Amino acid sequence: MSRAGLPSASRPGANDDVAARRGGPFAVVVRFSHELLFSIGPARRDHQPALRVALGVFLPLLTLTLVNRLDLAIFASFAAFTGIYGRNEPHRIRVVAQARAGLLMLGVIFAATLAARLSPGGALDPWWTVAGTTLVAWLCSVLAGLWRLRPAGSLFYIFAFAAVSSLPHQPPLPDALLAAVATFGLCLAIGLSSRVTPSHRSPLAWADVRDGWRVRVSVAERRVLWLESIGYLVGPGIAGLAATAVGQALGFGHNYWAMVAAVVPLVGHSTRHRVSRGLQRVLGTVVGLVLLAGIAALQPAPWAMVVLIAVCQFGAEMLIARQYFLAQVCVTPLALLSTLLVAHTDPGVLLHDRFIDTAIGSVVGVAVVLAPSVYRRARGVRGG
């Protein structure tokens, strides 16, 4: 009998554990698949940050829908990523994290729309999109590390620069910047809104906020940060080049989706965790595409799409720290609904492009994660 009073074979997952210890390859696959798809981490009041982030997306998009300015939706949507940062932190830490992340996002959005306006065709060429986005991926990953931003990495900034710079019809610059800045301010206000409840109120003085801007990074941490930033040059760069070349040969676009997928495995506390994130990205995308196909078949009105975007954003934030596969099931329709809201694109084309680009990017990202281990083993074999 086990300490829990049950035979060991009766405990959930016990048979998998026993088989795995015996070295059965099938059992190892079963156990890994269970951890990949069905295990879920503990809740940490996830509904609170999820509600804040969902409101930060919903209110600007609803406003733009009501005033018939959906051409500005892409700028508001990316500025709303401000609310994702500092999710479980005290107010004084959250406001600093969101201010840093939001101001960096505004800079990326401005650079992207400026690059598009200065391009001959009104939008960056796919190859130049890869070059510019790779630079943004590296630079923002370094800044995110130096500022200790969470979520770590530069995924959101990659997405924002590539999507905005490749937008064929840019709205007036003052309007675009106004939509982004207003959404940024709204997200900061929502992040502080829980202070109206005394039980949720944490100290917030100017001295605390000022001190929060001072981030101390040790020499060892800087060394690791610079080494890891190489992955944000190599991964998105290779993924973008591959997706562009294959896309032009086979007739599909959205190469930046591959670049976004390539950085997903770069964030994690172990090689196994990072590889798992890459696999979960692909599997979650497949299920999310099925969900989106059902939604697209209903042909929802713009206001209904805004509601669905907010619901998907809420679901993604509820799950992102607990089960990445399920979070991706929400993220996929969230991203594509945002695209459908702005551009009248055939949903079938988006489904096709999303799957192929995600697969390319995930393969490249996992390869980048595994490359150092493979190199060290190869050196060890040659040295032996």
C-alpha 110, offset from chain centre:
20
Instruction: Determine the pLDDT at residue 384.
Output: 55
Tokens, residue 298: 């209903």
Mean pLDDT across the stretch 295-317? 91
For the stretch 356-382, pLDDT in tens is 998 999 999 999 988 888 777 777 666
- pLDDT for 74-95, tens place per residue? 999 999 999 999 887 777 788 8
What is the pLDDT confidence band of residue 33, given thresholds at 50, 70 and 90?
low
According to the model, what pLDDT value does residue 136 have?
A: 95
The confidence score (pLDDT) of residue 271 equals 78
40 neighbors 323 (Cβ within 8 angstroms): yes
Is pLDDT at 346 greater than 60 in this prediction? yes
